[in-house]
Amino acid sequence: MKAKIIITPKKAVLDPQGQTVERALAHMGYQGVGKVHVGKYLEIEVEGDKATLEKQLDEACHKFLSNPVIEDYKLEIVD
Amino acid sequence: MKAKIIITPKKAVLDPQGQTVERALAHMGYQGVGKVHVGKYLEIEVEGDKATLEKQLDEACHKFLSNPVIEDYKLEIVD
């Protein structure tokens, strides 16, 4: 099984990396491109009971993989 | 519409960030956790024709959002 975790800055938080990509895309002439948000992606190979893993990884996300003050995360476990 | 882009290091490429997270998870006592891969996640607000956007963004991914020598990317456009 694989756990996929997407960590993004909260909408209210300044995202300088996203702004830079946004400006670069506009500068390169790409049309129809709006706001850009840049986050992190984690793929973790896991083994065991899905419910237990979900609980454990959710705790890990909250405690040290993300910063809950400025970031949101989305955890998904797939076979 | 939103374009979601996931950029991950190729399997053969050293991923020190992933190794660090892997060791940290093991050190904190999480069970059943294997290899960790750390990548980037981009969310881009887009507007226009889906096929055109897909072509444009695929080109942008290849040219400057990712480094095709050491990274893989996955592009998805959702409504």
Domain boundary assignment for chain A: 2-27+36-78
Counting as low any pLDDT under 50, the low residues of chain A are: none
List Cβ neighbours of A74 (8 Å cut-off, separation of 6 or more).
A5, A6, A8
At residue A15, the pLDDT reads 94
The distance between the two most distant Cα atoms of chain B, rounded to a whole number of Å, is 48
At residue B32, the pLDDT reads 87
What is the reported pTM? Answer: 0.91
At residue B13, the pLDDT reads 93
Please provide the CATH number assigned to the domain covering A2-27+36-78. Answer: 3.30.1280.10
Above 90 in pLDDT, residue B79? no
| Bridge partners, residue B7, by sequence | B40, B73
The average confidence (pLDDT) of chain B is 94
Q: Angle B35-A69-B36 (CA atoms, 0-180°, nearest 5)?
A: 5
CA distance to partner chain B, nearest, from residue A57 (Å): 8
Total residue length of chain B: 79
The whole-angstrom separation of Cα B75 and Cα B21 is 25
Q: How many CB pairs under 8 A join A and B?
A: 94
Residue A31 CA: distances (Å) to CA of A25, A53, B21: 8, 42, 37
A77 close to B (CB below 8 A)? no
Q: What superfamily does domain B2-78 belong to in CATH?
A: Phosphoribosylformylglycinamidine synthase subunit PurS (3.30.1280.10)
At residue A36, the pLDDT reads 95
The whole-angstrom separation of Cα A19 and Cα A36 is 7
Interval B3-44: pLDDT, tens: 999 999 999 999 999 999 999 999 999 988 999 999 999 999
Q: What is the ipTM of this complex?
A: 0.89
| Interface mutation vs chain B, best among A22, A41, A66, most B CBs within 10 Å | A41
At residue A49, the pLDDT reads 92
